[in-house]
Amino acid sequence: MTQPLFEKIALVGIGLIGSSIARAVKRGNLANKLVISTRSQSTLDRAAELGLGDAYIADAAQAVQDADLVVVSVPVGASGAIAEQIAAALKPGAILTDVGSTKGSVIAQMQPHVPDHVHFIPGHPLAGTEKSGPDAGFADLFEKRWCILTPVPGTDVAALDKLTRFWQALGSNVESMDPDHHDKVLAIVSHLPHIIAYNIVGTADDLETVTESEVIKYSASGFRDFTRLAASDPTMWRDICLHNKEAILEMLARFSEDLASLQRAIRWGDGDKLFDLFTHTRSVRRSIIEAGQEVDLPDFGRHAVPETTQQ
């Protein structure tokens, strides 16, 4: 590509996702100018030290001026305030998108502020790690991952197409989806798993009969798998819980119902029921590996990691 996809891109928020976008934009030469904005001066200074962009501006309204693409990458609870702050400064014809894990709430918060001459197309790259902050990002975070766009009624087809090409240039597979459906899908594939992981790590930490040091020492027998999700950014996850409440509560109710039934099978020694469930779930992982969404190595490939990189 001789001509970058966008003349000027502004990133508002420069955590794990924002800084990964910045790195991928630079690597792919997707903009002639990349402006980075974040509220915290120390984070902005760090982004500058890392050389993530071409300009670093604390004030979001100033940062988005003349930008052809604005990507808001903040905890979902902060998206309304950002939209309000930048609305008047947005260039006519600009594309405004976000990366939030809840879409109904983000649309409700941002949409009212967006001027008619701006293409607001909410999005959500399903990518991340348990790390956070500008140092945690890397250019191939989105490689082979899905990015879900949830266009609102009346979205401009050319703008949607351009944003799709942007995410494809970052390495993503792009899918469009209704915002409500997105929120239900994410509640089960992402939000419930994180909440369950946070919960079990909390439970383990509160026992009288087993000490915390025992839990840590013997964690490789299963527990440690949960600690990765439970090490995710607390602000981000607090906001997700508060902003996708209905779908999360529904999934939690189903999970608890199923768990009560499993608990009953254990209490009454119903080995056949346990065996059937435990057999069926095995095939799900196989399908995920076949779909290219997981490594086909035991233990997540932990054993394939050279010892020298382990502590």
34-63: which residues touch a second copy (CB under 8 A)? Answer: none
User: 41 or 199: whose CB is closer to a second copy?
Assistant: 199
Question: How near is the Cβ of 74 to a second copy at its closest, in Å?
Answer: 16
The answer to whether 114 and 142 have CB atoms below 8 angstroms apart is: no
> Contacting a second copy (CB under 8 A), which of 2, 92, 280, 308?
280
Integer-rounded Cα Rg, in Å, for the chain is 21
Which residues 113-132 are close enough to bind a second copy by CB under 8 A?
126-131
Q: Of the ranges 35-43, 82-90, 92-100, 219-227, which one interacts with a second copy (CB under 8 A)?
A: 219-227
Q: Say whether residue 174 binds a second copy (CB under 8 A).
A: no
7 or 257: CB nearest a second copy:
257
Q: How far is the CB of 176 from a second copy (least distance, A)?
A: 14
One of 51, 59, 158, 275 touching a second copy (CB under 8 A): 275
The residue (of 23 and 194) whose beta carbon lies closer to a second copy is 194
**Least distance in Å: CB of 275 to a second copy?**
5
Which of positions 129-158 make contact with a second copy (CB under 8 A)? Answer: 129-131, 136, 138, 140, 145-146, 148
Nearer to a second copy, 32 or 168 (CB): 168
CB of 303 to a second copy, least distance (A): 8
Question: Two tokens at 30?
Answer: 């997707």
CB-wise, 160 or 215, nearer to a second copy?
Answer: 215
Q: Calculate the CA 161 to chain-centre distance.
A: 22
Asked whether position 285 contacts a second copy by CB under 8 A, the answer is yes
Quick count: other Cβ atoms within 10 Å of Cβ 182? 24
**The 6-12 sheet, strands edge to edge:** 55-56, 31-37, 6-12, 69-72, 95-98, 119-120
Q: Please report whether residue 160 would count as binding a second copy according to CB under 8 A.
A: no
Ranges within 10-39 binding a second copy (CB under 8 A): none
Identify any residues that bridge with 70 across adjacent strands, giving them in sequence order. Answer: 10, 96
Site for a second copy, residues 286 to 305, rule: CB under 8 A: 286-305
Check residue 281 for interaction with a second copy (CB under 8 A): yes
Q: Which is nearer to a second copy, 92 or 298 (CB)?
A: 298
| Cβ 198 vs Cβ 230: under 8 Å | yes
Taking contact as CB under 8 A, which single stretch among the options 7-15, 87-95, 107-115, 217-225 is the one that binds a second copy? 217-225
Q: How far is the CB of 13 from a second copy (least distance, A)?
A: 18
Question: Given the rule CB under 8 A, which of 27-35, 85-93, 157-165, 230-238 is the region that contacts a second copy?
Answer: 230-238
* 190 part of the interface to a second copy, by CB under 8 A: yes
Residue 54: phi, psi to the nearest 5?
-105, -20
Pairing relationship of beta strands 95-98 and 69-72 according to DSSP bridges: parallel
